[in-house]
Structure 1
Amino acid sequence: MRRLVTIAAPLMVAAITPLLVGAAPCGSSGGARTAAPPSGPYTVGVIDTDTQGRVFTDTNFLVLYHDDADNAATGSFDCVTGCLKLYHPLLTQPGATLTMPPGVVGTLGAVVRPDGVGDQVTINGFPVYTFSGDQPGDTGGLTPSWHAVTAPVRLPGLAGG
């Protein structure tokens, strides 16, 4: 059993590392991020989890979540003040170029949060967050209204997919 863990860990890191090139870091633990996010090209990562399947992550392999009550299109954010102590918005620089990992279907964007925290990354229109209690690959932020953001992969040879 020990040998399998020793071999599997480097293979997992090698398999997901290319998906994280240029990824934007998430806010620090202990509350909403206060420092300016770095500039440059941004990409989210993708990993396979035991419980949620393939999901998006930040550069630290922290799973990204969305809140059912957030509606970026209307500027309505449910996760403000106290919520930001548990869920940290994935922030980006205004006007930054956001790119999806190769082979992953979806749309990256950004929306200005009405509470002044900053520009938050969106995936398929959902503002995304990390959970303060998670370690890389964990999905401890799941609740009835908080969901891991799934990452569909484009299958070779399928039109439109």
Structure 2
Amino acid sequence: MALLALSACGSSTSSDSGSGGEETQTVDGIVGTREIPDFATVLTDADGNTLYMTDAESSGTVACVDGCTDFWPPVAATQSDLPSSVDGVDGTFGLVDRPDGTEQLTLDGSPLYTFAEDSGPGSFTGDGFEDDFQGTHFVWHAVTADGSAPSSDQTGGGYTY
């Protein structure tokens, strides 16, 4: 894996070749993008993990709490972490207060998460995943840079907790 530092402010670019073709990641602070061949350009955390949002959470509402966060860790952030923009990303980053008092990164008001079952950078097994926690049904989607639905034939699993 090649890693090239672009600036002292925390931006970097890396490429990996996998069986699906070349993947490219760009990170600026706590948010980046990763181009996944035959899928989409998705948002990632600084470690390259795919970011997700769910249909169950509307603007400013946090429904994934307690046991849900064991599978879907919230992307924690503070005002000083907040990116003003990320190249190629349509939307506005913000923060939402979680019920436990922490702040969580949002895109256009939707809280962002990673998926504990993803195997690492470039993995997107949570896309299309459905589960239920405390009576709330969640359908999860990888967050694409342009806001479109990912072009995956993958169907996520489903569980009730």
Which interval holds the TM-score relative to the shorter structure? 0.5 to 0.7
Residue 16 of structure 1, CA deviation: 4.7
Counterpart residue type for residue 124 of structure 1? D
Separation (CA, whole Å) in 2 of partners of 1:69 and 1:139: 19
Percent identity between the aligned chains?
36
State the structure with bigger RCO (CA 8 A, min sep 6), 1 or 2: 1
Alignment check: 8 A CA contact 1:65 1:148 kept:
yes
1:81 corresponds to = 66
Aligned residues: 121
1:36 corresponds to = none
Q: Give TM-score scaled by structure 2 length.
A: 0.65
1:72 to 59, 67, 74: 59
Separation (CA, whole Å) in 1 of partners of 2:57 and 2:100: 13
Counterpart residue type for residue 132 of structure 1? A
Deviations 1:23-70 (Å, cap 9, x if unpaired)? 2xxxxxxxxxxxxxxxxxxxx100112453111000010000001111
Residue 102 of structure 1, CA deviation: 2.3
1:20 to 27, 33, 39: 27
Structure 2 unmatched ranges of 5 or more: 4-12, 16-22, 131-138, 148-161
Which of the pair is proportionally richer in strand? 2
Compared with structure 1, are the counterparts of its residues 97 and 87 closer, same or farther at alpha carbon in structure 2 (3 Å cutoff)?
Answer: closer
Counterpart residue type for residue 146 of structure 1? W
1:106-125 equivalences under 5 Å are 106-116=91-101, 118-125=102-109
Structure 1 unmatched ranges of 5 or more: 1-8, 24-43, 154-161
